[in-house]
A and B are shown apart, each in its own frame.
Chain A
């Protein structure tokens, strides 16, 4: 269980990026965090990853308070961030340095096969396409089998076809070990196709605006009417989140209450 309690962040330059963000995320749950620019999505993700410390509140994973990068939390960035001097195979095995060589090789080979890049094991990162590089980054993050995987707009730099392909691929990989996924995105389609729960944030300072549960069975049909309905709901929430006259709502059930006020 990943618990975020009143997480807030004010940068040293006085920018108030995130305010009192609370959420409880069950093991294996897929969460999409969506919102306009400056709503603290990436700040929140970096706090969960332990890369930046929150100024208020706490992040706990199974009762361990996260203040620095944790073995059970992996992260995938917007760019693949592969190490250019390591082969594709060595990049994937980067987090497995403690393992004996045999076990390491085996895990790498399995991961390469799983992301469909077995033929690229010896290639340099510069020889990969954008989509291939991001698949290697996903494999690198997943191969230590983390409990939680954070994704910071992981597909935003890719073309629409590759993006769809990788979204489906990510779900495939997720089904293997079912880690908790927390995905920051600005793509409504991506949020609805992947997430169990969409957290809509509002900017200045960033805070939680509304939660929308997507109780659609997987695999989800992007062309179905129900899919559209959920997309429309998220879009409506996004629109309202940018309207300053609307008060915060944190749950779908309390939406009516807030509007009534």
Chain B
């Protein structure tokens, strides 16, 4: 017993150390390369080896962000973009989920609808832009529609695939316990489909951010995409980089929101359990 005790303490201590390692050090490792590059470039400009006009140093990008924020411009642009992504994403998710569920659940509907959806999917979504502008005008509606189209396909495919790959052996357990149709959906199908659905949502959201840029480059008077275009036309690379940085932050943040919201529902999965709070 007296021999065991120090050994136990030691393992506890080393476990705490390894927990600290996985919580702090490992994510921090990913920051090394970008931080070194940024600081390096900052130094190069500071020492006068480059004027940093076309590739502004981080400090200048940061100044631009602060200036935009102070003037109130930044929040206006961010809100405009967030609204478009939010509306387009919501529409795409609703349509994709309903259509995907019908196609996945009902074989006849799959035969009827799936070929058309697959054919439409083969069209590069940006090809819709001129048509949407003609149909829906140059303002918000056409932008939201374009984003919704981009979001729709990964959601549709994800839902259909997830339903088709639900383990029939598990469904049979539901049959043995004589679940009604709605109970079968609520107690077996939904939880079985959920992991793949969360992945589809995240892919869809990524595409939503991609398409909002395209939509805002078409013609917008506000939004982060407008900042990009404005920066190009007026020769303000710092503003372009500022918009890019904000896109990156917002994209990562919204993706993280989905992950966090879904995590309690997916605790039973191996992968999520192992990753914990990472």
Contact B268 A74 (CB under 8 A): no
Contact A77 B169 (CB under 8 A): yes
Say which residue of B169, B172, B178, B191 sits within 8 Å of A85 (CB atoms): B191
Chain A, range 25-72, C-beta contacts under 8 Å to B: 49, 51, 68-71
Q: Is A189 an interface residue (CB 8 A)?
A: no
Contact A69 B176 (CB under 8 A): yes
Quick one: CB contact mask for B156-171 with A, threshold 8 Å, 1 for yes? Answer: 0000000000000110
Q: Is B23 an interface residue (CB 8 A)?
A: no
Say which residue of A77, A94, A124 sits within 8 Å of B177 (CB atoms): A94
Q: How far is the CB of B265 from chain A (nearest CB, A)?
A: 8
Say which residue of A51, A97, A126 sits within 8 Å of B176 (CB atoms): A51
Say which residue of B169, B191, B270 sits within 8 Å of A81 (CB atoms): B169
Bound CA span A86–B173, Å? 13
Contact B172 A81 (CB under 8 A): yes
User: Could you say which residues of chain B place their CB within 8 Å of the CB of A84?
Assistant: 268-269
Q: Is B199 an interface residue (CB 8 A)?
A: no
Q: Is A182 an interface residue (CB 8 A)?
A: no
Given contacts A126-B268, A126-B270, contact A81 B170 (CB under 8 A): yes
Contact B173 A81 (CB under 8 A): yes
Q: How far is the CB of A126 from chain B (nearest CB, A)?
A: 6
Contact A85 B173 (CB under 8 A): no
Bound CA span A86–B269, Å? 11
Contact B268 A124 (CB under 8 A): yes
Chain B, range 249-277, C-beta contacts under 8 Å to A: 267-270, 273
The 6 closest A-B pairs by CB, nearest first: A85-B191, A85-B268, A95-B177, A124-B268, A81-B173, A69-B178
Q: Is B82 an interface residue (CB 8 A)?
A: no
Q: Is A183 an interface residue (CB 8 A)?
A: no
User: Could you say which residues of chain B place their CB within 8 Å of the CB of A86?
Assistant: 268
Chain B, range 136-192, C-beta contacts under 8 Å to A: 169-170, 172-173, 175-178, 183, 187-188, 191-192
Contact B178 A71 (CB under 8 A): yes
User: Could you say which residues of chain B place their CB within 8 Å of the CB of A95?
Assistant: 177
User: Could you say which residues of chain A place their CB within 8 Å of the CB of B187?
Assistant: 94, 97
Q: Which B residues contact A (CB, under 8 angstroms)?
A: 169-170, 172-173, 175-178, 183, 187-188, 191-192, 194, 267-270, 273
Contact A51 B170 (CB under 8 A): no
In the complex, besides A69-B178, A71-B178, A124-B268, 11 extra interface pairs with C-beta distance below 8 angstroms are: A51-B175, A51-B176, A69-B176, A75-B176, A79-B169, A83-B173, A84-B268, A86-B268, A94-B173, A94-B177, A126-B270
User: Could you say which residues of chain B place their CB within 8 Å of the CB of A74?
Assistant: 176
Bound CA span A77–B176, Å? 11
Q: Which of B178, B192, B267, B273 lies at the interface centre, i.e. has the most chain A CB atoms within 10 A of its CB?
A: B178
Bound CA span A94–B183, Å? 12
User: Could you say which residues of chain B place their CB within 8 Å of the CB of A77?
Assistant: 169, 172
Contact B169 A83 (CB under 8 A): no
Quick one: CB contact mask for A101-139 with B, threshold 8 Å, 1 for yes? Answer: 000000000000000000000001110000000000000
Bound CA span A125–B177, Å? 19
Bound CA span A118–B211, Å? 52
| Nearest-neighbor residue (CB-CB) of A73 within chain B | B176
Q: How far is the CB of B2 from chain A (nearest CB, A)?
A: 29
| Nearest-neighbor residue (CB-CB) of A74 within chain B | B176
Bound CA span A95–B183, Å? 12
Bound CA span A8–B183, Å? 32
Q: How far is the CB of A113 from chain B (nearest CB, A)?
A: 22
User: Can you report 20 residue pairs joining A to B where beta carbons are below 8 Å apart?
Assistant: A51-B172, A51-B175, A51-B176, A69-B175, A69-B177, A70-B178, A77-B169, A77-B172, A79-B169, A83-B191, A85-B191, A85-B194, A86-B268, A94-B177, A95-B177, A124-B267, A124-B268, A125-B268, A126-B268, A126-B270
| Nearest-neighbor residue (CB-CB) of B191 within chain A | A85
Quick one: CB contact mask for A76-96 with B, threshold 8 Å, 1 for yes? Answer: 010101011110000000110
Q: How far is the CB of B95 from chain A (nearest CB, A)?
A: 27
| Nearest-neighbor residue (CB-CB) of B178 within chain A | A69
User: Could you say which residues of chain A place their CB within 8 Å of the CB of B183?
Assistant: 97
User: Could you say which residues of chain B place their CB within 8 Å of the CB of A97?
Assistant: 183, 187
Bound CA span A20–B177, Å? 28
| Nearest-neighbor residue (CB-CB) of B177 within chain A | A95
Bound CA span A18–B268, Å? 40
User: Could you say which residues of chain A place their CB within 8 Å of the CB of B191?
Assistant: 83, 85
